[in-house]
Chains A and B, each alone.
Chain A
C-alpha cells in the first residue's frame, strides 16, 4: 500500500534525445492507474523508471512518500509483470514464485503459505511442478502474475501484460486483473496501448503523447470531456470525427460559434450521429454512403459529406446500401470544440 508521486520527471537516454519531458503525476494509494498512448510515447520508459530499471535523469520519484531515485529495484518493494513474462525458464513454476521470497530470506512456512495462496487465486496449483515451457501462453501469464502477487509488494507495475494473448483470453485476463486488484487494493500502474483495455481497467487513465501527459482523469471524464484533440482522437472506438468549422454552412457556423468562442474545429463522436430526424435544432448533413462494416450489435457506416469523410456508428443493421445518399443529423449539444492551433479544447461559452 503506497502512493507513487512523480515530480517533474525527465528521462534522457545516453546519447539520445529527451524522451520524457518533465512529467508530474500523483498516484493514489490503492488506485489502478492506466498509462496509455501511441507506440514510442514513453510509457515503458516511465514504468521502468518507477521500477528502478532505468535511471531518472531529472525530477523525483517517490514511492510511499520515500524518494527512490537512488534506490535499487530490489529495495523499492514493487513487483513487475513483463510483456514477455520473463519467467525463469530453468525453474519450475513453484521455483519462479518462490524466487523473490527466498532472496528476501522469508521463512519457509511463510513461503509455502503465500505460494499456495497465490496459486489458488490464479488457478495454477496443478502446474506448480511444471517448467514454464510446458505451459500455454495464458498459464504463463498467470504465473507471471503469481510471481508478483506472492511478494505482497507496495505496488504492481504492468507493462502490456496481455499483449501476447489472443483476443478472447485477453478479455478474460483483463477482468481477472481488475478483480484481483480490487481484492488486494494494491496501488498499480498498468501500461497498454490498447485503449479498450485502458478504458475498462482504469480507475484513472493517463493519456501520454511523445513524453508528455495529455490528460489525466477517469475513463468517462476523458471520453466525455477530452482536453485536447489528441485525447479526443485517441479515446473512443471508432475514433471521433473532426470537421473544420468552416466546412459548415454559414448559419450553422454562427450558431456553433455562439456555443464555443474561438473554436475552429468540431469533434463528433460516431455514436452521436443519427439518421432518424430528431428535434428541430439538429444539424442536417446530406451524405453519400461509401462502406458499411457490420460489427455484430452495431454497424460502422463510412460516409462522405462534401469533401469530408465521416464514420457513423448505428445500432443494429440500418439497411443502407453502399452508394446511396442519406441524411444524418448532428446533435449540437453532443459536439466537442477545439482550437486547431493549440490543440486544446475550447471551453463552452454558455
Chain B
C-alpha cells in the first residue's frame, strides 16, 4: 500500500494534531473497554455498593448457562442467514445492473437508499409491515394460509429480523459487487463465450472466481454487521423475544446488563464479543493486503 509522507517542520505539531482523535479513542473506546474487562472479573451487588473480585467465575458461569448457549446458536443462525441472503440478493442485483450499465445509474441510486436508513428506522419500517394487527404483509400472508405473528412465533420473529437486517445491508454489498463486476474485463467473458461456455458456466468458472476477493471481504463485513450493528433493528422489532428466540449476543449484552442489571455477566459477554470483532478484523486486514492474488 502506498502512503503519503508529510514532513512537519515543527516537532510538536503532529502530536497536537493527533490529540483530539486520540482523546476520543481513549474516552469512548479504550476506557470503556478497560472498564468492561475489569468488571467482567467482578461481582457487584444489585445496588452497586460492594464489588468483589472473582476471577473467571463470570465466564465459567456463562458457558454453563443454557440461555447464553442458546443465544450463541441464535446468533450463528442469524448471522449466517443475513450474510447469505443479503450477499446473494445483492450479487443478483449487481449482475442485473452490470448488464445494462447505461440505465444502471438510476437503479444504483434506488438500490443504495436503504443504506442511508438508520437501523431503528429500518426496524420500525419492517415492524409496521409485519405488524400482526395492522401490517400489510400478515394480511397478504393470511391468504396463503400463513398465520403470521412474530410476537408469539419464534420462527416468524427470526424471519422478521433476518429480513429487516438483510434489507439494510444489501445496498452496501451491492455497491461492492457492482465495482467488482466492472473490474472483470469484458474480454474474459467474450473469450469464454468463444470457448464454448454458456452464461451460467461463464459466471461460475470465470466471473465468480475473479470476484472472490470482494466476496470474502464482504463476507467478513456482513458477519460483523449481523453480529454487532443490528442492535437497533432488533430493539425496534422484536426486542429479543419471543422467549429469547431473537436474543442474539449483542442484544443479550444489553438486556442482561441494563435490564437484568447483571453487570458482571454482561461485561464478560461484551469482552467475548470484543474478541470476536478483533479476530474478524485481523482476518479481514490480512486478506485485504493480499487480495489481488488469484
Contact B193 A72 (CB under 8 A): yes
Contact A99 B210 (CB under 8 A): no
Contact A79 B294 (CB under 8 A): no
Determine if B194 is an interface residue (Cβ-Cβ < 8 Å): yes
Determine if A169 is an interface residue (Cβ-Cβ < 8 Å): no
Contact B185 A74 (CB under 8 A): no
Chain A residues 251-308 with CB under 8 Å of chain B are none
Contact B194 A88 (CB under 8 A): no
Determine if A59 is an interface residue (Cβ-Cβ < 8 Å): no
The smallest beta-carbon distance between A135 and chain B, in angstroms, is 14
Residue numbers in A under 8 Å from B193 (CB-CB): 52-53, 72-74
**Nearest CB to that of B198 among chain A residues?**
A74
The 8 Å CB contact of A99, one of B185, B187, B195, B294, is B195
Residue numbers in B under 8 Å from A72 (CB-CB): 193
**Nearest CB to that of A100 among chain B residues?**
B195
Taken together as a complex, chains A and B put the C-alpha atoms of A224 and B12 apart, in Å, by: 79
**Nearest CB to that of B208 among chain A residues?**
A90
Determine if A152 is an interface residue (Cβ-Cβ < 8 Å): no
Residue numbers in B under 8 Å from A74 (CB-CB): 193-198
The 8 Å CB contact of B194, one of A79, A89, A133, is A79
Determine if B206 is an interface residue (Cβ-Cβ < 8 Å): yes
Q: Known: A53-B193, A103-B195. Contact between A86 and B187, CB under 8 A? A: yes
Contact A86 B191 (CB under 8 A): yes
Determine if A78 is an interface residue (Cβ-Cβ < 8 Å): yes
Contact B196 A103 (CB under 8 A): yes
Determine if A84 is an interface residue (Cβ-Cβ < 8 Å): yes
Residue numbers in B under 8 Å from A52 (CB-CB): 193-194
- Chain B: residues with Cβ within 8 Å of the partner, total of 18
Determine if A80 is an interface residue (Cβ-Cβ < 8 Å): yes
Determine if A329 is an interface residue (Cβ-Cβ < 8 Å): no
Determine if A131 is an interface residue (Cβ-Cβ < 8 Å): yes
Return the CB mask of B173-188 against A: 1 if under 8 Å, else 0: 0000000000001011
Taken together as a complex, chains A and B put the C-alpha atoms of A52 and B194 apart, in Å, by: 8
Contact B185 A84 (CB under 8 A): yes
Contact A90 B209 (CB under 8 A): yes
Q: Known: A82-B187, A99-B192. Contact between A90 and B197, CB under 8 A? A: no
The 8 Å CB contact of B294, one of A78, A86, A90, is A90
Taken together as a complex, chains A and B put the C-alpha atoms of A89 and B205 apart, in Å, by: 11
Chain A residues 106-143 with CB under 8 Å of chain B are 131, 133
Taken together as a complex, chains A and B put the C-alpha atoms of A74 and B192 apart, in Å, by: 9
Contact B294 A131 (CB under 8 A): yes
Determine if B201 is an interface residue (Cβ-Cβ < 8 Å): yes
Taken together as a complex, chains A and B put the C-alpha atoms of A11 and B44 apart, in Å, by: 81
Contact A103 B197 (CB under 8 A): yes
Residue numbers in A under 8 Å from B147 (CB-CB): none
Residue numbers in A under 8 Å from B191 (CB-CB): 80, 82, 86, 88, 147
Q: Known: A84-B185, A86-B188, A90-B210. Contact between A103 and B201, CB under 8 A? A: yes
Taken together as a complex, chains A and B put the C-alpha atoms of A103 and B193 apart, in Å, by: 10
Residue numbers in A under 8 Å from B187 (CB-CB): 82, 84, 86
Return the CB mask of B81-109 against A: 1 if under 8 Å, else 0: 00000000000000000000000000000
Determine if B190 is an interface residue (Cβ-Cβ < 8 Å): yes
Taken together as a complex, chains A and B put the C-alpha atoms of A140 and B1 apart, in Å, by: 27
Taken together as a complex, chains A and B put the C-alpha atoms of A206 and B210 apart, in Å, by: 38
The smallest beta-carbon distance between B205 and chain A, in angstroms, is 8
Return the CB mask of B202-221 against A: 1 if under 8 Å, else 0: 00011001100000000000
Residue numbers in A under 8 Å from B185 (CB-CB): 84, 86
Determine if A9 is an interface residue (Cβ-Cβ < 8 Å): no
Return the CB mask of A65-88 against B: 1 if under 8 Å, else 0: 000000011100011101010101
Taken together as a complex, chains A and B put the C-alpha atoms of A103 and B294 apart, in Å, by: 22
Contact A89 B197 (CB under 8 A): no
Taken together as a complex, chains A and B put the C-alpha atoms of A337 and B18 apart, in Å, by: 79
Taken together as a complex, chains A and B put the C-alpha atoms of A104 and B196 apart, in Å, by: 7
Residue numbers in A under 8 Å from B209 (CB-CB): 90
The smallest beta-carbon distance between A101 and chain B, in angstroms, is 9
Contact B188 A88 (CB under 8 A): yes
Residue numbers in A under 8 Å from B294 (CB-CB): 89-90, 131, 133
Contact B194 A78 (CB under 8 A): yes
Taken together as a complex, chains A and B put the C-alpha atoms of A82 and B206 apart, in Å, by: 17
Residue numbers in A under 8 Å from B195 (CB-CB): 74, 99-100, 103, 147, 151
Taken together as a complex, chains A and B put the C-alpha atoms of A51 and B192 apart, in Å, by: 12
Residue numbers in B under 8 Å from A86 (CB-CB): 185, 187-188, 190-191
Return the CB mask of A297-330 against B: 1 if under 8 Å, else 0: 0000000000000000000000000000000000
The 8 Å CB contact of B190, one of A53, A100, A131, is A53
Contact B210 A89 (CB under 8 A): yes
Residue numbers in B under 8 Å from A103 (CB-CB): 195-197, 201
Taken together as a complex, chains A and B put the C-alpha atoms of A273 and B113 apart, in Å, by: 72
Residue numbers in B under 8 Å from A88 (CB-CB): 188, 191-192, 206
Taken together as a complex, chains A and B put the C-alpha atoms of A74 and B196 apart, in Å, by: 4
Taken together as a complex, chains A and B put the C-alpha atoms of A303 and B188 apart, in Å, by: 50
Taken together as a complex, chains A and B put the C-alpha atoms of A100 and B294 apart, in Å, by: 20
The smallest beta-carbon distance between B105 and chain A, in angstroms, is 16
Taken together as a complex, chains A and B put the C-alpha atoms of A176 and B190 apart, in Å, by: 25
- A52-B193, A72-B193 given. 5 additional CB < 8 A pairs? A51-B194, A80-B190, A86-B191, A88-B206, A147-B195
Which B residues are within 8 Å of any A CB, using their own CB?
185, 187-188, 190-198, 201, 205-206, 209-210, 294
The 8 tightest CB contacts between A and B, nearest first, are: A100-B195, A103-B196, A90-B294, A86-B187, A86-B191, A74-B196, A73-B193, A90-B209
Subset of 12 A-B contacts with CB under 8 Å: A53-B193, A53-B194, A73-B194, A74-B196, A88-B188, A88-B191, A88-B206, A90-B209, A90-B294, A99-B197, A103-B196, A103-B197
Which A residues are within 8 Å of any B CB, using their own CB?
51-53, 72-74, 78-80, 82, 84, 86, 88-90, 99-100, 103-104, 131, 133, 147, 151
